[in-house]
Chain A
Amino acid sequence: MEHRGLGLPALLMLLAALAPRSFAAPGPTLWPMPLSVKTSPRLLSLSRENFSIYYDPSSTAGPSCSLLQEAFRRYHEYIFDFSKSELGPARRNNAVELKQLLVSVGLESECDLYPSITSDESYTLAVEGPVAFLKANRVWGVLRGLETFSQLIYQDSYGTFTVNESNIIDSPRFPHRGILIDTARHFLPIKSILKTLDAMAFNKFNVLHWHIVDDQSFPYQSVAFPELSNKGSYSLSHVYTPNDVRTVIEYARLRGIRVIPEFDSPGHTQSWGKGQKNLLTPCYDGPKQSGTFGPINPILNSTYCFLSQFFKEVSTVFPDHFIHLGGDEVEFTCWESNPEVTDFMKRKGFGKDFKRLESLYIQKLLGIVSTINKGAIVWQEVFDDHVKLQPGTVVQVWKNEKYGEEQTQVTAAGFPVILSAPWYLDWISYGQDWRKYYTVDPLDFDGSQEQKKLVIGGEACLWGEYVDATNLTPRLWPRASAIGERLWSHKGIRDIEDAYNRLTVHRCRMVRRGIAAEPLFTGYCYY
């Protein structure tokens, strides 16, 4: 009832799936593909009892580095915490046993720091018996290398944990590899966010873009302005307390993931109005206030007082250098209706150009953020509407139409770019849409070498209109994995059928690790 329109690749996969014994012979399956992989047919065996991960004597980080201690424990679990049921008796093979993975951090470890846009994530991995070596300049590279090491290990058909002798040199193609989650359209329980961070680490993502508030709700519990969430959240149990936020940030840090909060303004702020009087613009219906509100009121001093205080808090709560300030989809109708706003426009000589009013607001906000020594990320409208931006302001491209041209323009103006336009994962359709995400190349636009260098990475966006804790995980994974590889791996890694085979196994690995990643196509996982 269902096979109409299957392409040849799908049919081939179906045939492969029909021969379960011969399909997907055990072997290492890496996702995302490292920069350089050399594997030899020589096999080493491992056992849960005898294998350990420890520090090389030369390492600058040692047992006092809790980030690595926890990672060692985690990856020992991931490697061994499953076994195939119904396997034959364990076979004594002649393979040399791999007893240890020795980890060495070469430079100052950064064990107690937060990851940043400049964090060094490179590593090398030399797997030979009886000891394997993982070398990195910083702990961040160790985290990435541990993930790769865990992906090298598989169970052979007798159930023996096995690894090929291998040499891997790896570093990411782009430094900013993000996932956007939206906790305003639907609240996501902390557990869901932490699960997402786990899965992000499996895919070498390193930025959680936390679109934390929006029109619909304000779940962020502010210390300075508690009424924002008291009045603006869906309910008092739908809030993120300071402790919740700390939990997320630390959990992310331990996985080498930055947390960038987005407090989108001046639009998308309906929920702010409930807890902060006079912040939003009152809309008018003819000569009278209509009782509804528009974007943040940009003509009042009180607005900027509030924003200073509020972002001062945000800058201390969220340690990352960057704050996402939003700035998208500002609706001018309400401003147009308000006589005080139009008077202000007249005084300023803005004429009827509300973009200039928007610019005024954003410029003041950018000023506030730079006085607290934070960097800013904004959605593309802020650039499109000719707001004067400080150098270094990052522009996130999200509009699907001609996004390549937008990249050309933004980089030509010298601003760094994050690409999201082709990666809106909330837009679902029937079938294997991951292929579409995978074939995108973020540098596929007209521009000089210098311009291309300004593309710092991309983000997969899972907006929350139709997503909450019930469907977040299967909607995100493994579709986001396609973007994970595009942002990490060398641009030459684009063979889609090879990607299909690896991603099929990688999704089973995620399932085994407790991530309910949905299937790519007909088939099954080995356990």
Chain B
Amino acid sequence: MAGSGLWFSLLLAAGLAGRVAALWPWPQYIQTSESHYAIFPHNFQFQYHVSSTAQPGCSVLDEAFQRYRDLLFTSRPWQPPEPTRKQHAPEKNSLVILVVTPGCNQLPSLESVENYTLTINDDHCFLLSETVWGALRGLETFSQLVWRSPEGTFFINKTEIEDFPRFSHRGLLLDTSRHYLPLTSILDTLDVMAYNKFNVFHWHLVDDSSFPYDSFTFPELTRKGSYNPATHIYTAQDVREVIEYARLRGIRVLVEFDTPGHTLSWGPGVPGLLTPCYSGSHPSGTFGPVNPILNSTYEFMSTFFLEVSSVFPDFYLHLGGDEVDFTCWKSNPDIQAFMKKQGFGNDFKELESFYIQTLLNIVSAYGKGYVVWQEVFDNKVKVRPDTIIQVWREEAPVHYMKEMELITGAGFRVLLSAPWYLNHITYGPDWREIYMVEPLEFKGSPQQKALVIGGEACMWGEYVDSTNLAPRLWPRAGAVAERLWSNKLVTSLDFAFKRLTQFRCELLRRGVQAQPLSVGYCEQEFEQT
């Protein structure tokens, strides 16, 4: 491969120019040298280029400038240089930003272009991007390039970076149903996602355990289904705040309302929605999945998803569809009668398909696209060709790489999560296995590979709440972030270890409770408050 020699030299350069070693995720192309420029906080500013379509007033960038100024300069001690000391390095007093395509007030989407180039040389200190989203990624990279001498002077090395993501969907799943996560935990996570160039927050908002989403059409859902309707809910205002906070960081919010299974918490608020389970000839008092044989179910779903479609602006909704337990359906005589009438025989997958197809029709009528868990594909539900399938099962029914092959072979787009269940913990540096996953390592044509739009790190909440979320996520999720952003040739564990170790110290400096990778220390340790 022609590129690999170049790669080697770049990696070597990075080894020499130690400052660059903090970059995470590693950019697509980087050229850097030892010569560097000084930056003086009181003198330095982010500036829009005259021909940039984004200009002052562009909230996404105005706020990003403020954020990165704070990240760069405020939380570290800094004294103005002593006038007697000779400064060898020339000064850079601004980073000039040029955005080509207008669009400050839009939302990021699956199709958003995140490319940017960053040029820091004798003539320029310049960030060029197609969109504001690319500018955000470039600002993050810029902030990782700036370093500080022991005397406290800031520097940036002469650097040329051309960067773009390998995959366009780079997600992180949080589960706010098994444990409620306070709004601040979610917002803090969005910050760290931006530091890692993640661009999708997959919000697994409700599940069996609780229903914290405060629906204005069906307020009984949270009133009866949340852990505590006063404190453990997300109001409309909270949701708007999350979406806007994410937007300002170039992050999409992909909301999941998982049905027909994983819905026990929906039941108390919507009588008749769940299937009554039977014990012999009597209802047992317990409930199963959403009842797929009633018109009222679909009326409810129509209304509910109409609300969801307007509250969550992203084109895609996640409809779940995983782990439907058939035991309850089997026990229910009305369901059995319905099965007979429909000619489904004893194949409850047919009933599941029936439900999902009806739901998909509802949602697509609202002009939304959808993502579903792999079972929907495995159970041969007829779905629209533009459905995105998320692979989560490691071994069954087939190894996840085989599953990727099958799904893409059938022409569907796919997201990979199976090897990235971060809630599964083990002793030691498990980020290595997470890092070494190659999402395209399955048999398939180039067309099939092109259907892999990305992946997601998943932090399920059975054992996770705000007490342990941050250290369990970071820096482990960073390994997924780099795999999804950087070139597929960036696979050296040693190189990654060095950079990730430094990056985690940078996270500590930024106030993130990121746990250590190995023995050692950071100049600025995490301080308990």
Contacts and interface: CB of A to CB of B under 8 A. Distances in A.
Given A186-B516, A186-B520, A522-B179, A86 B463 contact: no
A165 to B, nearest CB: 30
Contact of A518 (B265, B468, B525): B468
Interface string A424-454: 0011111100000000000000000000000
Interface stretch (A38-46, A298-306, A462-470): A462-470
A3 B323 contact: yes
Q: Which of B426, B519, B523 has the most CB of A within 10 A?
A: B519
Size category, A interface: 35 or more
Interface in A438-494: 464-471, 473-475
A235 B522 CA distance: 9
B525 A426 contact: no
A119 interface: no
A18 B264 contact: yes
Interface in B451-480: 458, 460-465, 467-468, 470-472
Interface stretch (A188-196, A223-231, A326-334, A342-350): A188-196
Interface in A475-527: 475, 511, 516-524, 526-527
A523 B228 CA distance: 11
A230 to B, nearest CB: 16
Nearest to B373: A1
Nearest to B514: A470
Given A18-B265, A466-B427, A1 B460 contact: yes
Contact of B425 (A1, A216, A429, A465): A429
A524 to B, nearest CB: 4
B447 interface: no
A293 B73 CA distance: 42
A469 B528 CA distance: 7
Given A189-B528, A428-B425, A523-B179, A217 B521 contact: yes
A518 B518 CA distance: 22
B425 A522 contact: no
Contact of B515 (A18, A468, A511): A468
Contacts of B525: 187, 189, 238, 468-469
A85 interface: yes
B485 interface: no
Interface in A175-230: 185-187, 189, 191-192, 195, 216-217
B210 interface: yes
Interface residues of B, number: 51
A477 B337 CA distance: 52
B43 interface: no
B230 interface: yes
A498 to B, nearest CB: 21
Contacts of A471: 468, 471-472, 513, 515-516
Contacts of B472: 471
Given A428-B427, A466-B428, A522 B461 contact: yes
A466 B430 CA distance: 11
Given A20-B228, A428-B427, A470 B264 contact: no
A2 interface: yes
B178 interface: yes
B468 A430 contact: no
A14 interface: yes
A234 interface: yes
Contact of B467 (A468, A511, A522, A523): A511
Contacts of B427: 426-429, 466
A17 interface: yes
B515 A1 contact: no
B179 A524 contact: yes
Contacts of B463: 430-431, 518-521
Contacts of A235: 521, 523
A465 B373 CA distance: 37
Q: Which of B322, B508, B521 has the most CB of A within 10 A?
A: B521
Interface in A1-48: 1-3, 14, 17-18, 20
Interface in B380-435: 392, 423-429
Q: Which of B467, B517, B527 has the most CB of A within 10 A?
A: B467
A3 B468 CA distance: 20
A430 B518 CA distance: 20
B295 interface: no
B526 interface: yes
A189 B460 CA distance: 30
Contact of A519 (B323, B467, B520): B467
B446 to A, nearest CB: 30
A475 B464 CA distance: 12
A464 B517 CA distance: 11
Given A187-B521, A465-B519, A430 B425 contact: yes
A470 B527 contact: no
Contact of A474 (B428, B462, B468, B520): B468
Given A2-B460, A191-B527, A518-B463, A18 B426 contact: no
Contacts of B462: 2, 521-522
B492 interface: no
A69 B385 CA distance: 72
Given A185-B519, A519-B467, A469 B526 contact: yes
A480 B470 CA distance: 21
B527 A18 contact: no
Given A192-B528, A428-B425, A518-B463, A470 B516 contact: yes
B519 A216 contact: yes
Contacts of A527: 231
A520 B178 CA distance: 11
Contact of A18 (B209, B428, B468, B513): B209
Q: Which of A85, A187, A523 has the most CB of B within 10 A?
A: A523
Nearest to B463: A519
Contacts of B91: none
B208 interface: yes
A527 to B, nearest CB: 7
Contact of B232 (A186, A191, A524): A524
Contacts of B264: 18
B343 to A, nearest CB: 31
Given A3-B323, A466-B515, A430 B423 contact: yes
B180 interface: yes
A525 to B, nearest CB: 9
Q: Which of A1, A20, A187, A470 has the most CB of B within 10 A?
A: A1
Interface in A225-277: 234-235, 237-238
A14 B515 contact: no
B227 interface: yes
B527 A469 contact: yes
A470 B526 contact: yes
A25 B207 CA distance: 24
B237 to A, nearest CB: 17
Nearest to B462: A522
Given A86-B231, A192-B528, A469-B526, A518 B519 contact: no
A519 B516 contact: no
A254 to B, nearest CB: 19
Contact of A468 (B392, B424, B464, B516): B516
A473 B513 CA distance: 12
Contacts of A465: 518-519
Nearest to B392: A1
A2 B320 CA distance: 13
B184 to A, nearest CB: 14
Contacts of B424: 430
The 3 closest A-B pairs by CB, nearest first: A474-B468, A471-B471, A86-B230
18 contacts: A2-B462, A18-B264, A185-B519, A187-B525, A234-B520, A234-B521, A426-B427, A428-B426, A428-B427, A430-B424, A466-B516, A468-B525, A470-B515, A470-B516, A470-B526, A521-B463, A522-B178, A524-B228
Given A1-B392, A517-B467, 18 more contacts: A2-B178, A186-B516, A186-B521, A187-B525, A189-B525, A189-B527, A189-B528, A235-B521, A429-B426, A430-B423, A466-B428, A466-B518, A467-B516, A468-B516, A469-B526, A518-B467, A524-B232, A527-B231
